[in-house]
Amino acid sequence: MPLVNFTTREITCKLVYYGPGRCGKTTNLLYIHGRVPEQRRGNLVSLATQSDRTLFFDFLPLELGMISGFATRFQLYTVPGQVYYNATRRLVLQGADGVVFVVDSQARRFDDNLESFQNLQENLLDQGVDIRNLPLVLQYNKQDLPPDLILAPAELDDAFNFRGVPSLPSDALHGTGVFETLKSLSALVLQRLAARAPVP
Amino acid sequence: MRAIERWVEVPLQTFLSESAARVTLLMTSSGQVVAQHGFTRSLDVMSAAALGAGILASTAELSRVMGTRPLDAVVHQGSAVGVYLAGFDTPRGRWLGLVVFGPETSLGLVQMFFARMVGDLGRAAPAEEPPRQVLAEDFEAELNSSLRTLFGR
Amino acid sequence: MSLDLALSDITRIPGVRGALVVSRDDGLVVADALMEGVDGGAVAALAASLAGRMRGVTAVLGQPEPVLLTLGGTEGMLLLAPGQSGLLLVAVAGSDVNVAELRLSVLAAAGTTF
């Protein structure tokens, strides 16, 4: 769960962007990094291969500001999407307070999305986490592509959103839906934190 | 020096003064910062913690793949500074330490005093406190406002 | 002379509790022959630190580097002999040791080993 410092009144949450290779996880972080004022964000740490594919993870720390009197920070991580990097994905997923599952809306990537989503559930289960109990948001990315190439949000909801979690269409490259996705997941994570700590 | 919980402060301060380490970071195994000394920006602390936790996690995974006993510590020796990274168990779960040290001390001293700090932390840890109220019920308005400010909307 | 042989030449002296070859820069044990209860890692780290500080003192005084450092205590002593190759020979002894014999052995071992 989020790390809470009562002495200095700070909350730190770990949010992980998960999804198949080239679905747009790093693009989400790049957009956020480009939009947020420098004094409110750290450097975008990117451990990538020479061809710019995420090798280990991307990491972006954000200073959100004061929420309920707590200085709130987000640590945004992406995982490498390629199938063979599962050990790394498991490591990055460890201790996640919430997950954005980024779906590549292209119809031809449907099976890759499904495989990655199942992989997310398996990796969470390995860590003793039931996906039904973890704050989760679905982001249907690349919705800007021609309609004949992509699946509509309703169709993707049918396939992935069996829990009725928030799902948002996006075009991460141009920023559409990026802000809304982060907002949606952070609300879920903080709601969970508020619900977990009863009034003494 | 800053620590999430007060009981961490004395063992960490003792380590800092005895080892002459320049930078020290204690974190959970998932990269959440527990205490730190020597950083100027909290955002840099988080990046260092994420990278340090990543290195140790991949080392642990490597030892699992090779079928060896867990590799608990990693040392990066640079020409000007060295970095010592080590995992250890505490009454609050598994923590990791990242220490940056210069030629004014040595790896041997850092290792020795680090081991002492681990023992001190184990003895200093109080029983876990019951959960306390963290966020007010109406936090969402503040969250939305903070995010709007962050994104300039 | 091998490191092990150099160490055994020292540890055969009555009253010696252990001997170590230590890396001077990082304070780590390179080789050791220690009695039960002697924390080799701690001795190595602290001895290397001490030798480094003494090197600094002699440098400030414009003197050459010391060839032997002796640290006496009520219950024993520590002898350090810095070598040229970044190594340090360390002997840990109780108060009942023949100090003259130990000094000669440590210097001889350091001279032939490093």
Q: What is the predicted pLDDT for the residue at A172?
A: 97
Nearest CA-CA distance, residue C48 and chain B, Å: 8
Contacts of A40 in chain B (CB under 8 A): 150
The CB density around residue A149, as the number of other CB atoms within 10 Å, is: 12
ipTM over 0.85: no
Nearest CA-CA distance, residue B26 and chain A, Å: 13
Nearest CA-CA distance, residue A107 and chain B, Å: 31
Mean pLDDT of C78-83: 92
For residue C61, what are the contacts with CB-CB under 8 A and spacing of at least 6? Answer: none
Q: Would you place residue B66 in the very low, low, confident or very high pLDDT band (cuts 50, 70, 90)?
A: confident
* Residue-wise pLDDT tens digits, C5-22: 889 999 999 999 999 999
Q: What is the predicted pLDDT for the residue at A199?
A: 42
Q: What is the largest CA-CA distance in chain B?
A: 52
Q: What is the predicted pLDDT for the residue at A140?
A: 98
- Within chain A, residue ranges assigned H as helices are 25-35, 86-93, 110-126, 153-160, 178-196
* CB A112 within 8 Å of CB A21: yes
For residue A187, what are the contacts with CB-CB under 8 A and spacing of at least 6? Answer: B140, B143
Q: Is C41 on the interface with B (CB under 8 A)?
A: yes
How is residue A155 written in tokens?
């169709």
Give the residues of chain A that fall short of pLDDT 50: 198-200
Q: E strand or H helix at A17, and its extent?
A: strand A10-18
Whether residue B131 has pLDDT greater than 80:
no
Radius of gyration of chain C, Cα coordinates, nearest whole angstrom: 13
Of B25, B21, B30, B16, the C-alpha closest to B44 is B25
Q: Is C50 on the interface with B (CB under 8 A)?
A: no
Nearest CA-CA distance, residue A187 and chain B, Å: 7
Contacts of A199 in chain B (CB under 8 A): 133
The CB density around residue B17, as the number of other CB atoms within 10 Å, is: 10
* Chain B residue with Cα closest to C56: B104
Contacts of C26 in chain B (CB under 8 A): 77, 82, 106-108
* Chain C residue with Cα closest to B75: C26
Q: Is C48 on the interface with B (CB under 8 A)?
A: yes
Chain C (17-36) residues lying within 8 Å, Cβ to Cβ, of chain B: 22-23, 25-29
For residue B12, what are the contacts with CB-CB under 8 A and spacing of at least 6? Answer: B1, B3, B24, B26, B35, B37, B117
Q: Supply the pTM of this predicted model.
A: 0.80
* Residue-wise pLDDT tens digits, A116-165: 999 999 999 999 999 999 999 999 999 999 999 999 999 999 999 988 99
Nearest CA-CA distance, residue C49 and chain B, Å: 7
Chains near A, with 3+ CB pairs < 8 A? B
Q: Is B92 on the interface with A (CB under 8 A)?
A: no
Packing angle of the helix pair A86-93, A110-126 (nearest 10 deg)? 60
Whether residue B135 has pLDDT greater than 60:
yes
Which residue in the set C28, C42, C46 is minimally distant from B107, CB to CB? Answer: C28
Chains near C, with 3+ CB pairs < 8 A? B
| Interface touch C49/B109, C-beta < 8 Å | yes
* Residue-wise pLDDT tens digits, B20-57: 999 999 998 888 889 999 987 777 888 888 888 888 88
For residue B32, what are the contacts with CB-CB under 8 A and spacing of at least 6? Answer: A3, A12, A14, A75, A95, B49
Chains B and C touch (3+ CB pairs under 8 A): yes
How is residue A103 written in tokens?
């779906």
Nearest CA-CA distance, residue B38 and chain C, Å: 22
| CB contacts < 8 A (A, B) | 142
Contacts of B47 in chain A (CB under 8 A): 42-43, 45, 59, 61
Chain B (14-73) residues lying within 8 Å, Cβ to Cβ, of chain C: none
Which residue in the set B3, B58, B139 is minimally distant from A67, CB to CB? Answer: B139
Nearest CA-CA distance, residue A149 and chain B, Å: 31
Contacts of B17 in chain C (CB under 8 A): none
How is residue C74 written in tokens?
């009520």
User: What phi, psi does C108 have (nearest 5°)?
Assistant: -65, -45
